[in-house]
Chain A
Amino acid sequence: MPDDALSRPGGRISPPKLATSGIQPAKNTVLVSHGRPPWYGENGERISDAFVVGIAGGSGSGKTHVAQQIVRSLGSIPSVVILSQDSFYKRHTEEELALAHASAFDFDHPDSIDMPLFAACLSDLKACKQSNIPVYSFVTHQREDQPKYLYGAAIIIAEGIMALQDPGLRDLYDLKLFVQCDSDLMLARRLKRDVEERGRSVTGILEQYLRYVKPAYDNYVLPSQRYADIIVPGSNNTVAIDLICTHIRGKLLERSNFFRRKMAIPHLYTSPSGHSLPESKLEDLNLTILPQTRQLEGIFTILRSKTSSMQDFIFFVDRLATLLMEFALQFLPYSARTVTTPIGTAFTGKTMSAKYICGVSILRSGGTLERGFRRVLNDVPMGSLLVPSNNTDGEPLMLHVMLPVCIRKRHMAEETWVFLLDAQIGTGASAFMSIKILLDHGVKPEHIIFVTFLVARGGGISVLRRAFPDIKIVTAGVDDVVQEGWIDGPQGGGNEQGRQVWTILPGLGQIADRYYL
């Protein structure tokens, strides 16, 4: 047995980290080590659920340890969350609270867990939606008022003594594990943890163990073992972990779907269904194009010229962004409103009637629209997404999701109007992923207003439009061509360090570089 077998698994003494990953697995936090590749197909539909692992086992058997070892062994995992059953303790009444503080409340009975809520949260996460999971405080023995927002895990590990107990939960697992451990070892670990970390007395712990923990283990936990696909030893389990990880990796690979190349220039490639698309016509794309005035043409000429100074570039980007935002605001709902003027006369006009409005900027280049946005909407929240392309195959990766509260909560998201900002739509891959993220949260497609400087007609826009016919796309201009190219790595000669790039012609160049660097 390793030296740390008695310490709380994954607690203060953690196993040595793998050199390849600097991840410190924490519970109820989405860990992202290398970004999440697309989880949807080119029709915008989800092609796979998140992979869900359920881990049960007695208190102190090493469930968390197993979960954390899986996370580490997976290496460059896309994104993973360890969901703890502890979060789902029910909200307690005053009497229950008094019992809990006197260590006389049965926390080990299945009824103490809010199973329907646990299943609902897990089901949402599995379906790639956001979830606001409860936060339980062991200090006050009560559920806290502010839930915790989770989104975007490709792998979910649900752990808890009752994780395999509830049939509703069991239906959600793709892989069910039971961590097997001797009772005496479990008690020893529990004693050590509760004395050292929670300051309890040995007598109290033993009393609680005999009264609640042991009977619950014998009556509920151990019998649930028969539902498990794999029984994992609570210690010396590297082989088991290895097998499990190989299985998970295989499953993830089956679910991966790479289509950026096909999306980038759709009419040059055949789609998975076998037929290639005709080049799209402008009128089919249903774009809302800023009126092409002389000033707009002049602004575009300055922005397109490679000799424009950075000072000019920034100024005219800001000016154009302001115009675009004013134009895009036509898609908000308005209703009648009557006011009295200082002269004392009544005037019946309109007022904007959207319940919630926010901006979401696709970093880095969406940031170039933010100043214009603020000149028009100065008091709304602004979220951000970072979905850069993977260097090797150009697939977008979800790296960072920071969304306003009105999108995080599903019931609010349904009434939120979102201005999604990005400098241009070329291959459309990052736009595609960003729209999918908003839809996953429950934002209605007709409430998404995509605002951009430039759309490439021959690019991914046609795939984007077919997948999301109801979103509004507001653009200042349309170019015809997306050209495929290759940037060699520092060593040159088309080695592995190089990457595929797509350029809009005539285009504006790299807008974010010209604006920021």
Chain B
Amino acid sequence: MATIPPPVPPPQPALNQAQMNPLPPSVFTLPQTAQLEALYTIIRSKETSRGDFLFYSDRIIRLLVEEGLNHLPVVKKVVQTPTGATYEGVGFKGKICGVSILRAGEAMEAGLREVCRSVRIGKILIQRDEETALPKLFYSKFPQDIAERYVLLLDPMLATGGSAMKAVEVLMDHGVPEDRIIFINLIASPEGLRTFCTKYPLLKVITGWIDLGLNEKAYIIPGLGDFGERRYCE
């Protein structure tokens, strides 16, 4: 391998920092390239067809998962190449699994499986309890050995952060340490992100875009509407 300059940390998106400066140390975003901006422009537009919404949100999800995987540990590994040379590389260490927060989180599973073949995927359903107005766990199903795995927690939109925090609580109840969870998310609100990171400072968050904020109905603005609705229903 030729001497390749060490990886530079991706430049933090100007717009993302505009909403939140500095970013909490546990938050990582994608390099804000013109191309990424173009992808977000497509999925944000209400004129975008369902087919395009699927295709372009999948592209962003794949990039987010790739970024999330870079936070997993690796170990040194030496292999023989077909040309007879020896190559000192690295091997992946540790087992992983995905956990999607129903229903919108499931939309990220296809992207995850394209990057991590036949990865195990747990599910979790959290809804607002009408009596207490707090998020409540309705259903969960995890791989049996989840406590020994790194968990990629999937939810496309982080608004108030209520259901994401509930999901982390459930995972930790199942024995997953906080620092072995990576939360993967398409669009976050600054207030939701701040609450989340204050409560779980060791948990890494990979987000594609930090938006302006929330409106009175707790929708992210400018946002992209209801991700699950657009993906599955409209």
Contacts and interface: CB of A to CB of B under 8 A. Distances in A.
Interface of A: 282, 289, 291-295, 297-298, 300-301, 304-307, 315, 319, 322-323, 326, 329-330, 332, 334, 337, 339-343, 345-347, 349-352, 375-376, 378, 457, 477-480, 483, 503-510, 514
Contact of B223 (A345, A479, A480, A503): A345
A301 B223 contact: no
A505 B4 contact: no
B87 A349 contact: no
A515 B65 CA distance: 24
A345 B70 contact: no
B20 interface: no
Interface string B42-60: 1011110000000100110
Given A293-B70, A341-B222, 14 more contacts: A282-B3, A301-B87, A304-B87, A332-B35, A341-B44, A341-B46, A350-B35, A350-B41, A376-B59, A477-B1, A505-B85, A506-B83, A506-B86, A509-B82
Contacts of B4: 282, 289, 292, 477-478
Given A341-B44, A351-B38, A330 B33 contact: yes
Interface stretch (B89-97, B137-145, B147-155, B170-178): B89-97
Contact of B72 (A282, A294, A480, A483): A294
B169 interface: no
30 contacts: A292-B7, A295-B69, A295-B70, A301-B90, A305-B79, A307-B79, A307-B80, A315-B117, A329-B35, A330-B34, A334-B37, A337-B38, A339-B45, A342-B223, A342-B225, A349-B37, A349-B41, A349-B44, A350-B38, A351-B41, A351-B42, A378-B55, A477-B1, A477-B4, A479-B2, A483-B83, A505-B85, A508-B82, A509-B82, A510-B82
Contacts of B89: 297-298, 300-301, 304
Contacts of A507: 81-83, 85
Given A319-B115, A352-B35, A375-B114, A504 B66 contact: no
Q: What 6 pairs across the A-B complex have the smallest Cβ distances?
A: A509-B82, A301-B89, A342-B225, A349-B41, A506-B85, A339-B45
A343 B79 contact: no
A41 B37 CA distance: 42
B166 interface: no
Contacts of B44: 339, 341, 347, 349
B21 interface: no
A265 B90 CA distance: 30
Contacts of B1: 477-480, 506
Contact of A341 (B70, B81, B86, B225): B225
Contact of A350 (B6, B34, B223): B34
A505 B83 contact: yes
A479 B74 CA distance: 22
A334 B33 CA distance: 10
* A interface: dominant SS: mixed
B221 interface: yes
Nearest to A316: B117
A337 B225 CA distance: 19
B77 interface: yes
B132 interface: no
A308 to B, nearest CB: 8
Interface string B1-42: 111101110100000000000000000000001110110111
B230 interface: yes
B170 to A, nearest CB: 28
Nearest to B217: A343
Contacts of A342: 46, 223-226, 230
A298 B74 contact: yes
Nearest to A513: B82
Contacts of A289: 4
A341 B224 contact: yes
B62 interface: yes
Given A330-B35, A375-B114, A306 B82 contact: yes
B6 A480 contact: no
Contacts of A504: 83
A250 to B, nearest CB: 42
B87 A343 contact: no
A341 B80 contact: no
Nearest to B45: A339
A477 B90 CA distance: 15
A334 B38 contact: yes
Nearest to A312: B117
A301 B77 contact: yes
B74 A291 contact: no
A514 B82 contact: yes
B40 to A, nearest CB: 6
A305 B7 contact: no
A343 B46 CA distance: 9
B63 interface: yes
B147 to A, nearest CB: 24
B200 interface: no
A323 B114 CA distance: 11
Contact of A319 (B6, B81, B87, B114): B114
B3 A343 contact: no
Interface in B87-122: 87, 89-92, 114-115, 117
Nearest to A337: B41
A457 B223 CA distance: 45
B215 interface: yes
B215 A343 contact: yes
Nearest to A339: B45
A56 B69 CA distance: 70
A488 to B, nearest CB: 17
B35 A334 contact: yes
Nearest to B10: A291
Contacts of B81: 304-306, 505-509
Contact of A352 (B10, B38, B115, B221): B38
Contacts of A301: 77, 79, 87, 89-91
A381 B87 CA distance: 37
For A292, A315, A343, the residue with the greatest tally of chain B CB atoms inside 10 Å of its CB is: A343
Contact of A326 (B59, B86, B219): B59
Nearest to A483: B83
A508 B79 CA distance: 11
A341 B7 contact: no
A345 B221 contact: yes
A514 B2 CA distance: 24
A18 B55 CA distance: 55
B223 A343 contact: yes
Nearest to B71: A294
A306 to B, nearest CB: 4
A101 B14 CA distance: 71
B3 to A, nearest CB: 7
B115 to A, nearest CB: 6
